[in-house]
Chains A and B, each alone.
Chain A
Amino acid sequence: MKTLHYYIRIYFMIISRYVKTRMEYRADFIISMVGIFFRDILGLAGLWIIFGSIPQLKGWSLNELIFLYSFSLLAMTPLQIIFDNIWGLRHYLIDGSFVKYYFRPLNTMFYFMSERLDIKGFSQLGLAITGLIYSSVKLGIDWDLQKLFLFGIMFFSSALIMISLMVLAGATGFWVTNSFSVLEFTLKVKDFARYPTTIFTGIFHVIFSYIIPVGFVAFYPLQAILRPEEAGQLYLLTPIMGVGMFAFTCFVWERGVKSYSGTGS
C-alpha cells in the first residue's frame, strides 16, 4: 500500500509540470479566470434582482442566500481545481489512450485527476470567500471556535459531495463512452444547492435531499450555522453523506475501470 507521503510527492511532481506548461498560455489563463468571475458574479446579480421584488425566500433573507451561494461556490472549488480532468475522460475513453493509466503503480483516479490542475478555480475561490465574508458581516455572525470547527467540517463534507456528483457523472463514461451530457446535467443540478431545499415539496424534496443530495451541500449544513435554533439534527448527516458518497464514487470508478478494460479499446 502506497503511503500518503508518496502520493503527495507524486502529485506535486505531476502538477508542477502541468502548471509550467499551462502558464505559457497566458491569455487563456487570464480569460478563463475572467470567464468564471462573470459566471459567478452574474449568479449573485440574479439573486440581488430577485430580492429587489421579494423580502425573503422560504423565510431566508438576501444575505443568508448570499451566504448559501458563496458556500456552494466554496464547496465546488476543490472539485473545480483538483478534479477538472473528469471533463476530459471521454476523450481518453473514446480514443483508447486511457489504458496508459493502467501501467503505473498508482491509483487510477488519483493519476488521472492529477494530470490537470484548474488554476482558474482560484478565481472562484476568491469570489466565494468574498461573498462569505460580506454576508457573514451583514448577518452579524459570531464566529466562535465551535462555529468555525463546524464550518470546516461542513465545507469538507460538502466538497466531497460535489466531487462525488461530478465524478460519478463522468464515470458513466466507462459504460456509455460519451458522458458529456451526463456531466452537463450534473452541472445544472449542482446549482440547485444555492437555494433553500425547502423550495421542493413531496417526492422532489426527497430526491434533492437524499438521492441527488444537493440539500446537503449547503442548505442543511448551513442551517446549523445560520439558524441553530431551527436546525434540528439533520445537518449531522452531512459528513456521513460526504464520505459515503465519495466512497461510493471510488467504488463505481474502480468498477468502471475494470469494465472498460474488459471490453478493450
Chain B
Amino acid sequence: MRKYLAITKNMFQTAIAWRFHFFMTSFSNIVFLVFLYFLWGAIFESSETGVIRGQTFEQVFIYMAIVSSVVVLFKTYTEWEISNKIIDGNIIMHLIKPMDIQLHYFFQGFGIVLFNLITITVPVMIVLYLVWGDHLNGGTALLWFALSALLAYLISFLFDFITGVVSFYTESIWGISIAKETIVLFFAGAVVPMSFFPESVQKVLAYLPFQAIYHTPISLLTGDHAVGEILSSLGVQLLWVIVLGVISRLFYNRSLKTVTVNGG
C-alpha cells in the first residue's frame, strides 16, 4: 500500500510544483503588464498630441499587453529540451524511436502552449476585452487570430528547433538561446511596436520571419483589415513555415551526420 501512496504523493507534488510554476508565470506576466501600463503611459505623457506614430496610448498598451501574453504563450523551452538531449547524448533515443523528432517536440511543446493558453493568455485576453473592448476586434477577427497564432507558433517552434539543433556544434545553448530570443522579440515588434521603427527599417523587416510570429497575428485584433489583406498575411506566415520547415529538417539531418555524441 505504502508504495502506491508514494506514487500518488509524488504525482501530487509534481502537480503542485507545476501549478506553482504556472501561477508564478501568470503573476509574472501580470506584473509585467502593470509595468507596461506605466511605462507607455509615461511615454505618451511626453507627446503633446497624445498620438505617437499614428497610435494612441490605448492602442499601444493593448497591443503590447497582448504581445507579452503571446510571448509567454509560446515559451516552451523546446530549444533547451533538444539541447539537453544532445549534450547528454540521449538524442540517440530519437533515432531509434519510430516517431519523427520534429513532430515529437512539436506536440510536446504544444501541450505546454495549451496549458499556457488556459492559465495565462485567455485570462489576460478576457480582462483586456472587458476593459478596452471597443479598441479590439471581436467575432470573426478572433477566428482569424487563432489561425494566424497557430501559424505563428509553428514558426516560433521551428526557430526553437533550429536553435536547439545548433548545440550539435556548440555544446551549449544559453548564449544562442538568449541571442535568438532577444533578436526575435525585438524585430517582431514585441519590445517596441512596429510603428515606432523608422520606415526604412520596417520595410526590411517585412521580408524577415520575425514579425510573422508576433506582429502579424496580433495586428489582426486591432484596426480594420480587408479579407484580402488578412489572407495575404496568413500566406506569408505559411510561406515562412514551409521555408523554415525545410531548413530545419535539412539542418537537423546534416548535424546528425557530423555529430560527436558525449558519452558515446
Q: Which residues of A contact B (CB under 8 A)?
A: 25, 27-28, 30-36, 38-39, 42, 45-46, 49-50, 52-58, 120, 176-178, 180-182, 184-185, 188-189, 192, 195-196, 198-201, 204
A28 and B31 contacting across the interface, CB-CB below 8 Å: no
B175 and A55 contacting across the interface, CB-CB below 8 Å: no
CB distance from A121 to the nearest CB of B (A): 12
Q: Return chain A residues, CB-CB under 8 Å to B171.
A: 25, 27-28
Q: Return chain A residues, CB-CB under 8 Å to B146.
A: none
Main secondary structure of the interface of A (DSSP, over half): helix
Q: Does B191 contact A (CB under 8 A)?
A: yes
Q: Does B56 contact A (CB under 8 A)?
A: no
Point out the residue from B24, B32, B42 that lies within 8 Å of A58, measured CB to CB: B42
B191 and A181 contacting across the interface, CB-CB below 8 Å: no
B182 and A56 contacting across the interface, CB-CB below 8 Å: no
Mark B163-184 against chain A: 1 for CB-CB distance below 8 A, else 0: 0000001111011111100110
A188 and B196 contacting across the interface, CB-CB below 8 Å: no
State which of B33-41, B89-97, B125-133 sits at the interface with chain A. Answer: B33-41
Q: Return chain B residues, CB-CB under 8 Å to A27.
A: 169-172
Q: A49-B196, A53-B53, A54-B47 are in contact. Are A199 and B39 (CB under 8 A)?
A: yes
B183 and A181 contacting across the interface, CB-CB below 8 Å: no
The 13 sampled A-B contact pairs (Cβ below 8 Å) are A27-B172, A31-B179, A32-B172, A39-B182, A52-B196, A53-B52, A53-B196, A54-B52, A55-B46, A58-B42, A178-B20, A180-B21, A181-B21
Q: Return chain A residues, CB-CB under 8 Å to B198.
A: 52
Q: Return chain A residues, CB-CB under 8 Å to B25.
A: 181, 184-185
Q: A52-B198, A53-B196 are in contact. Are A181 and B34 (CB under 8 A)?
A: no
Give the total of B residues in contact with A, Cβ under 8 Å: 39
User: Which partner residue on chain B sits nearest A176 by CB separation?
Assistant: B20
Point out the residue from A32, A185, A195, A196 that lies within 8 Å of B175, measured CB to CB: A32
A32–B177 Cα distance when bound, in Å, is: 9
B175 and A28 contacting across the interface, CB-CB below 8 Å: yes
Q: A31-B170, A52-B196 are in contact. List 9 more A-B contacts (CB 8 A).
A: A27-B169, A28-B171, A38-B183, A49-B197, A53-B53, A56-B46, A120-B175, A180-B21, A196-B42
B179 and A35 contacting across the interface, CB-CB below 8 Å: yes
By Cβ-Cβ distance, the 5 closest A-B pairs, closest first, are A35-B175, A181-B24, A31-B175, A32-B175, A28-B172
Main secondary structure of the interface of B (DSSP, over half): helix
A39–B27 Cα distance when bound, in Å, is: 24
A57–B46 Cα distance when bound, in Å, is: 6
A56–B43 Cα distance when bound, in Å, is: 8
Q: Does B106 contact A (CB under 8 A)?
A: no
B176 and A31 contacting across the interface, CB-CB below 8 Å: yes
Point out the residue from B31, B52, B169 that lies within 8 Å of A189, measured CB to CB: B31
Q: Which of B24-74 contact A (CB under 8 A)?
A: 24-25, 27-28, 31-32, 34-35, 38-39, 41-43, 45-47, 52-53
Q: Does B17 contact A (CB under 8 A)?
A: yes
CB distance from B197 to the nearest CB of A (A): 6
Q: Return chain A residues, CB-CB under 8 Å to B182.
A: 38-39, 42
Mark B112-147 against chain A: 1 for CB-CB distance below 8 A, else 0: 000000000000000000000000000000000000
Q: A28-B175, A32-B175, A178-B17 are in contact. Are A185 and B41 (CB under 8 A)?
A: no
User: Which partner residue on chain B sits nearest A177 by CB separation?
Assistant: B17
Point out the residue from B27, B53, B192 that lies within 8 Å of A185, measured CB to CB: B27
User: Which partner residue on chain A sits nearest B191 by CB separation?
Assistant: A46
User: Which partner residue on chain B sits nearest A24 by CB separation?
Assistant: B171
Q: Return chain A residues, CB-CB under 8 Å to B178.
A: 35-36, 38-39
Q: Does B110 contact A (CB under 8 A)?
A: no
Q: Return chain A residues, CB-CB under 8 Å to B21.
A: 178, 180-181
Q: Return chain B residues, CB-CB under 8 Å to A201.
A: 38
User: Which partner residue on chain A sits nearest B52 by CB separation?
Assistant: A53
User: Which partner residue on chain B sits nearest A200 by CB separation?
Assistant: B38
Q: Does B186 contact A (CB under 8 A)?
A: yes
A54 and B43 contacting across the interface, CB-CB below 8 Å: yes
Q: A25-B171, A199-B41 are in contact. Are A50 and B192 (CB under 8 A)?
A: yes
User: Which partner residue on chain A sits nearest B32 by CB separation?
Assistant: A188
CB distance from B75 to the nearest CB of A (A): 9
A181 and B20 contacting across the interface, CB-CB below 8 Å: yes
Q: A27-B170, A58-B42, A185-B27 are in contact. Are A34 and B35 (CB under 8 A)?
A: no
A27–B170 Cα distance when bound, in Å, is: 6
